[in-house]
């Protein structure tokens, strides 16, 4: 045990052939300090130089290919930054070009007319002619033939490359390390799992992930290491969840009188089946005596707010207080204004606390919370401040979770010193199952997968900018029917000034197309003061304005049932989930709603996929899946939420199947042997022990 720990803890300096200078570079540039760090620094791809292709065999779909041929001639083309060196390269089957934009003078000197070369790189075709830009070029006459095989390619920095630390060198170091490490590598999975899923051993896997003998071994090594990574990831999450459930008590809210009163007397519509189911799930949590940690997922407009309110009533009906936290002031206001009439009718006190609440009002609020007079507090991040103290906070609801960090959630926990409050996190960004399992593996998940009756699916179309007149015509039609329209512009921080100009230009062109006094146009953007935004939003809600020109400030949650058209300008600049969120601003009333995405002609393949997905479906979960495929899980969640970013080899966008099996295995093992004491689980125990040393997350598992 200790022997093993010490070997992989050995500083890189001791590795034969590395030396102090390179060691320091690896420390600084890649954060690699020990043998263990290096051995887990997996290649991000592999060069397949196991075979040669003829020019006639080349295809655009090849990630890379090597071709053996002769250099006929070369010439310079283009001016300025487009200046390039172009060489004609032929084999018996055809001809292609090799192109360089950089280092032209140097490369030109090294080329030999009619010399025999091996060119390697990504083939790309342009009107029937293939070319490779910046190929790797080996001259056969000078013995440059490459060893055949698969070669690992590591993520390296420019600085490392300048100091001649390239993938070849890392591969060489890896071989030395692997040979030395061989006897110290112990199996980390129980025999039972290895047998059942026909995994290769840990040693073979580590060897072949770095130095694959062939494609088959590489695949096996990847599968084995991905399984291991996901298995331990799930084991940790499930175990933590079990501990959490045992460790943290929660208040019991058994009495349903207050909630039933609301349900029977005041609720203006019938709950959907999904809403009822979720309310039952929450109520069941409230009876356990343990803290609830539940994620409520539901598409935009699925009716999460009313579910949240009913949960609040369960808490209040049992002598506790509740709070509801939203990511923006507009949203907090909207929740407050939406819930206030209900609270009033029930004789309950509801308050709001945001950045713009004045001092005097704050003082009163603080006092009312402490005395217990205030039953529900709605607000923004302001709720997290230490001065906000309750008599007995029983339930925290966090709306649109993706905007909050884990640390902030922890702050809410401490708002009740005696018993931590129950936590309900609501999100309208549906998270694909695979991701939810990993990200929120320690939360219970409820899903509202049904929209209230009578909602018509939003009709979505994609229009090019030059069809603007047609779009304006359509807007006019809708406005004449008494509907309202949103026009949204992108606002991305790096180019804030430009975006602001776009927004203002757009605003002016709208004013020309929809002149006063027939039409009134409002504007909403992030630079406005909170009360200004608020006024604009109110004017739109009260139909004083018919068109709302806005940036993505309106993205989350705002509810104007009479708005039936969403025009998204420069839609190519929005991510898929953002487009879906924006579309969710309409379709909230009984009228048919429309979403029109405007773009220029030049669109990337990814953008086309995004737009097509939006046109094809209104289903948030389907959209989330496509988004995951396009963007990868890191982008989807933001890096501050750990759990996903820790993965070194598994890819949640692609490895859903392995994840499901790994999770199942982890669950089964913990069910049989919660403390992992059985002899056959010794490899797990040992591995956790060594992980614990490097990762604080394992600290809680004992
Ligand atoms: P979201 O899940 O996006 O937060 P909201 O809670 O804002 O959705 O609900 C959207 C609208 O649907 C609100 O006006 C709400 O009052 C209404 N609503 C919620 N549940 C139902 C229901 N079961 N039947 C009819 N309307 C509902
Ligand atoms: Mg909402």
* Displacement of CA 457 from its chain's centroid (Å): 26
Supply the pLDDT for residue 198.
95
Residue 620, ligand 1, Cβ within 6 A:
no
Residue 586, ligand 1, Cβ within 6 A:
no
Residue 526: pLDDT band (50, 70, 90) is confident
**Best mutation site among 274, 297, 300, 306 for ligand 1, i.e. most ligand atoms within 8 A of its Cβ?**
306
Same CATH topology for 51-147 and 459-617: the answer is no
Domain ranges of the chain: 1-47+150-246+655-702, 51-147, 257-448, 459-617
pLDDT digits (tens, 9 = 90+) for 528-551: 887 788 788 889 989 999 999 998
CA of 562 to the centre of ligand 1 (A): 14
Classify the phi-psi angles of 232: left when phi > 0, otherwise alpha if psi is within -120 to 50, otherwise beta: alpha
pLDDT digits (tens, 9 = 90+) for 25-81: 999 999 999 999 999 999 988 887 878 899 999 998 888 899 999 999 999 998 888
Supply the pLDDT for residue 91.
94
Instruction: Give how far Cα 641 sits from Cα of 269, 405, 406, Å.
Output: 37, 7, 7
Instruction: Give how far Cα 298 sits from Cα of 72, 360, 427, 525, Å.
Output: 63, 37, 7, 27
Is residue 220 pLDDT above 90, yes or no? yes
User: What is the distance between the alpha carbons of residues 187 and 203, in angstroms, rounded to a whole number?
Assistant: 8
User: Mean pLDDT, the chain, as a whole number?
Assistant: 88
User: What is the distance between the alpha carbons of residues 612 and 523, in angstroms, rounded to a whole number?
Assistant: 29
The radius of gyration of the chain's CA atoms, rounded to the nearest angstrom, is 30
User: What is the distance between the alpha carbons of residues 222 and 200, in angstroms, rounded to a whole number?
Assistant: 10
**Best mutation site among 272, 298, 305 for ligand 1, i.e. most ligand atoms within 8 A of its Cβ?**
305
| Residue spans of beta strands (DSSP E) within 51-183 | 65-77, 84-91, 94-100, 116-121, 123-126, 129-133, 136-139, 149-153
Residue 276, ligand 1, Cβ within 6 A:
no
Fold of 459-617: Rossmann fold (3.40.50)
pLDDT digits (tens, 9 = 90+) for 571-629: 998 989 889 989 988 987 778 999 999 999 888 888 999 999 999 999 888 888 888 88
Residue 279, ligand 1, Cβ within 6 A:
no
Whole-prediction pTM: 0.69
Supply the pLDDT for residue 6.
79
CA of 407 to the centre of ligand 2 (A): 22
Is residue 181 pLDDT above 80, yes or no? yes
User: What is the distance between the alpha carbons of residues 264 and 306, in angstroms, rounded to a whole number?
Assistant: 14
- DSSP string over 594-645: EEEEEE-S---HHHHHHHHHHHH---HHHHHHHHHHHH-HHHHH-TTSTTST
pLDDT digits (tens, 9 = 90+) for 244-281: 777 789 999 999 999 999 999 999 999 999 999 999 99
CA of 519 to the centre of ligand 2 (A): 29
Percent above pLDDT 70 for the chain: 92
As given in the structure block, the two tokens for residue 314 are 């369960």
User: What is the distance between the alpha carbons of residues 625 and 644, in angstroms, rounded to a whole number?
Assistant: 16
Percent above pLDDT 90 for the chain: 57
Is residue 230 pLDDT above 60, yes or no? yes
Strands 321-325 and 393-399: parallel
Residue 405: pLDDT band (50, 70, 90) is low
Query: Under a CB-based contact definition with an 8 Å cutoff, are residues 382 and 307 in contact?
Result: no
What angle separates helix 215-247 from helix 202-210, to the nearest 10 degrees? 120
Is residue 5 pLDDT above 70, yes or no? no
As given in the structure block, the two tokens for residue 493 are 């921080």
CA of 493 to the centre of ligand 2 (A): 25
Is residue 123 pLDDT above 80, yes or no? yes
Residue 413: pLDDT band (50, 70, 90) is confident
CA of 452 to the centre of ligand 2 (A): 14
Sign of the CA dihedral with 367 first, then 372, 378, and 383 last: positive
Query: Of 533, 578, 549, which Cα lies nearest the Cα of 485?
Result: 549
User: What is the distance between the alpha carbons of residues 96 and 131, in angstroms, rounded to a whole number?
Assistant: 5
**Which ligand is the nearest neighbour of the Cα of 276?**
1
User: What is the distance between the alpha carbons of residues 165 and 190, in angstroms, rounded to a whole number?
Assistant: 37
User: What is the distance between the alpha carbons of residues 234 and 660, in angstroms, rounded to a whole number?
Assistant: 10
**Which ligand is the nearest neighbour of the Cα of 306?**
1
Residue 301, ligand 1, Cβ within 6 A:
yes
pLDDT digits (tens, 9 = 90+) for 336-385: 999 999 999 999 999 999 988 999 999 999 999 999 999 999 999 899 89
Query: What secondary structure, in 3-state letters, does 44-70 show?
Result: CEEEEECCCECHHHCCCCCCCEEEEEE
DSSP-derived letter for residue 458 is: P
Query: Of 351, 355, 345, 356, which Cα lies nearest the Cα of 370?
Result: 351
* CATH class as words, domain 257-448: alpha beta
Residue 302, ligand 1, Cβ within 6 A:
yes
pLDDT digits (tens, 9 = 90+) for 500-525: 778 888 899 999 999 998 999 999 88
Query: Under a CB-based contact definition with an 8 Å cutoff, are residues 399 and 429 in contact?
Result: no
Q: Is 496 helix (H, G, I), strand (E, B) or coil?
A: helix
Q: For the domain covering 51-147, report its CATH number.
A: 2.40.50.140
Minimum-distance ligand 1 atom for the alpha carbon of 584: 3
Supply the pLDDT for residue 495.
63
As given in the structure block, the two tokens for residue 597 are 């995405």
Higher pLDDT, 405 or 181: 181
User: What is the distance between the alpha carbons of residues 399 and 426, in angstroms, rounded to a whole number?
Assistant: 5
**Which ligand is the nearest neighbour of the Cα of 586?**
1
pLDDT digits (tens, 9 = 90+) for 133-168: 999 888 887 765 666 778 899 999 889 988 889 898
pLDDT digits (tens, 9 = 90+) for 380-396: 989 989 899 999 999 99
pLDDT digits (tens, 9 = 90+) for 472-484: 999 999 999 999 9
Is residue 641 pLDDT above 60, yes or no? no
Strands 547-550 and 459-464: unpaired
Supply the pLDDT for residue 1.
42
């Amino acid at each position: 045990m200790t022997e093993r720990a010490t070997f992989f803890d050995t500083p890189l300096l001791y590795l034969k052939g590395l030396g102090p200078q390179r060691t320091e570079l690896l420390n600084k540039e890649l954060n690699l300090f020990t043998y263990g760090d290096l051995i887990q620094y997996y290649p991000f791809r592999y060069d397949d130089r196991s075979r040669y292709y003829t020019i006639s065999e080349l295809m655009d779909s090849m990630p890379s290919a090597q071709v053996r041929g002769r250099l006929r001639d070369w010439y310079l083309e283009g001016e300025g930054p487009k200046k390039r060196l172009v060489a004609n390269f032929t084999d018996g089957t055809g001809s292609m070009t090799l192109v360089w934009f950089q280092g032209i003078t140097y490369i030109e000197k090294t080329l030999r007319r009619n010399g025999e070369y091996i060119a390697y790189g990504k083939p790309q075709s342009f009107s029937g002619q293939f070319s490779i830009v910046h190929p790797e070029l080996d001259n056969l006459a000078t013995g440059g033939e490459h060893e055949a095989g698969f070669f690992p390619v590591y993520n390296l920095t420019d600085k490392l490359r300048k100091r001649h630390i390239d993938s070849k060198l890392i591969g060489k170091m890896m071989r030395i390390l692997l040979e030395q490490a061989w006897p110290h590598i112990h199996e980390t999975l129980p025999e039972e799992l290895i047998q059942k899923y026909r995994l290769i051993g840990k040693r073979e896997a580590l060897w072949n992930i770095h130095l694959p003998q062939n494609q088959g071994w590489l695949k096996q090594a990847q599968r084995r290491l991905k399984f291991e990574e996901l298995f331990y990831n799930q084991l940790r999450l499930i175990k933590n969840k079990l501990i959490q459930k045992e460790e943290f008590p929660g208040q019991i809210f058994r009495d349903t009188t207050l909630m039933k009163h609301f349900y029977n007397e005041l609720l203006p519509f019938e709950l959907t089946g999904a809403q009822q189911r979720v309310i039952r799930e929450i109520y069941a949590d409230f009876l356990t005596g343990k803290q609830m940690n539940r994620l409520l997922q539901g598409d935009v407009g699925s009716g999460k707010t009313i579910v949240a309110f009913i949960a609040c009533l369960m808490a209040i009906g049992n002598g506790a207080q509740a709070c509801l936290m939203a990511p923006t002031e507009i949203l907090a206001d909207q929740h407050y204004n939406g819930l206030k009439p209900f609270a009033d009718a029930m004789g309950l006190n509801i308050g709001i606390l945001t950045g713009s609440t004045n001092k005097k009002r704050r003082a009163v609020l603080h006092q009312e919370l402490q005395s217990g007079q205030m039953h529900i507090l709605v607000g923004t991040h302001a709720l997290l401040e230490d001065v906000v103290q309750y008599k007995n906070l029983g339930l925290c609801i966090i709306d649109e979770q993706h905007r909050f960090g884990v640390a902030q959630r922890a702050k809410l926990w401490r708002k009740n010193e005696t018993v931590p409050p129950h936590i309900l996190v609501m999100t309208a960004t549906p998270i694909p199952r695979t991701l939810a399992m990993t990200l929120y593996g320690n939360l219970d998940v409820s899903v509202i997968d049904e929209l209230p009756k009578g909602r018509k699916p939003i009709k979505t179309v994609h229009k090019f900018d030059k069809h603007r007149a047609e779009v304006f015509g359509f807007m006019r039609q809708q406005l004449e029917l008494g509907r309202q329209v949103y026009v949204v512009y992108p606002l991305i921080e790096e180019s804030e000034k430009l975006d602001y100009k776009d927004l203002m230009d757009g605003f002016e062109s709208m004013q020309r197309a929809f002149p006063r006094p027939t039409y009134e146009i409002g504007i909403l953007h992030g630079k406005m003061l909170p009360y200004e935004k608020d006024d604009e939003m109110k004017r739109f809600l009260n139909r004083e304005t018919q068109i709302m020109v806005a940036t993505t400030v309106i993205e989350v949650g705002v509810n104007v049932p009479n708005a039936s058209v969403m025009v998204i300008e420069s839609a190519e600049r929005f991510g898929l989930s953002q487009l879906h969120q924006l579309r969710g601003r309409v379709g909230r009333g009984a009228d048919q709603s429309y979403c029109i995405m405007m773009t220029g002609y030049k669109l990337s393949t990814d953008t086309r996929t995004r737009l097509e997905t939006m046109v094809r479906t209104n289903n948030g979960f389907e959209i989330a899946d496509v988004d995951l495929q396009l963007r990868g899980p890191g982008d989807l969640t933001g890096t501050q939420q750990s759990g996903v970013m820790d993965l070194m080899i598994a890819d949640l966008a692609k490895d859903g199947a392995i994840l499901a099996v790994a999770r199942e295995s982890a669950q089964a093992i913990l069910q049989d042997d919660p403390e992992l004491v059985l002899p056959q689980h010794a490899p797990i125990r040992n591995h956790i022990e060594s992980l614990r040393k490097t990762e604080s997350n394992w600290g809680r598992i004992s």
